[in-house]
């Protein structure tokens, strides 16, 4: 967990809160293990049973349950994902059948953007949110379930060219990504802030090389 970005770490805790709230209602190891049999599904039931087996205290059982859930959610992002590049969208869009019975699978996620005294809700893709955050200078704060969002939460992923379809030059730096939602997020925040664009150029990355595209 040490290497996951701050937004993802906090989001995991947010996702687990309904479960940790229930766990905090009991310190009885037998009762906690019985609850697990009703809630966990498939391979995750097998995993948590294995982790709980040597535990004889309520706190030990709780640690085993929470560790199983955290590892399962992080694993949803894929074995090839670097931990500092994993975002909440990577986790929630890729839940397998067993986990999707325990958590809601989604490709877009709710955020808020605060403009002056007004906080507006939006449901967005990861790349759209990253585009908003790239332009924002904290004058229009972005949050997810009250957790502040900044481009620091995305920068490792968008600095990595591996398996990306586009690259964009913005304020003298290059960013790599996969959909035009990133463009749209940048454009939207620039319009909200009424500032000129700082996008210098955009290239599509193809097997035949890079192709200049109009932004």
Give pLDDT tens digits for 121-154.
999 999 999 999 999 878 899 999 888 999 999 9
Clarify whether residues 64 and 84 are in a common domain: yes
Contact indicator for 79, 73 with CB cutoff of 8 Å: no
Q: Which two tokens stand for residue 129?
A: 């949110």
Average pLDDT over residues 27-56: 95
Does pLDDT of 159 surpass 50? Answer: yes
Domain enclosing residue 56, as ranges: 6-100
Clarify whether residues 120 and 86 are in a common domain: no
Clarify whether residues 12 and 35 are in a common domain: yes
Give the per-residue pLDDT at 77.
Answer: 81
Residue 1 located in a structural domain: no
Does pLDDT of 194 surpass 80? Answer: yes
Last residue of a domain, one of 40, 68, 100: 100
Query: Which among 17, 45, 2, 1 has a CA at the least distance from the CA of 147?
Result: 17
- pTM of the model as a whole: 0.84
Last residue of a domain, one of 82, 100, 118: 100
DSSP H helices in the chain: 6-23, 29-39, 42-52, 58-75, 88-92, 97-100, 126-135, 155-158, 181-193
């Amino acid at each position: 967990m040490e290497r996951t970005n701050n937004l993802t770490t906090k989001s995991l805790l947010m996702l687990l809160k309904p479960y940790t709230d229930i766990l905090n209602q009991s310190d009885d190891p037998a009762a906690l293990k019985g609850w697990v049999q009703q809630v966990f599904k498939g391979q995750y039931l097998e995993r948590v049973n294995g982790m709980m087996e040597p535990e004889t205290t309520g706190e030990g059982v709780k640690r085993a349950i929470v560790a199983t859930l955290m590892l399962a959610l992080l694993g949803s992002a894929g074995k090839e994902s670097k931990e500092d590049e994993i975002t909440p969208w990577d986790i929630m869009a890729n839940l397998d059948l067993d986990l999707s019975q325990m958590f809601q699978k989604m490709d877009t996620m709710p955020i808020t953007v605060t403009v002056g005294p007004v906080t507006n809700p939006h449901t967005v893709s990861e790349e759209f949110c990253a585009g908003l955050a790239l332009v924002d200078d904290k004058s229009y704060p972005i949050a997810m379930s009250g957790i502040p969002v900044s481009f620091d939460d995305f920068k490792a992923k968008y600095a990595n060219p591996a398996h990306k379809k586009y690259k964009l030059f913005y304020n003298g730096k290059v960013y790599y990504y996969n959909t035009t939602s990133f463009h749209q997020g940048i454009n939207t925040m620039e319009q909200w802030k009424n500032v000129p664009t700082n996008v210098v150029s955009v290239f599509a990355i193809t097997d035949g090389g890079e192709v200049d595209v109009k932004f």
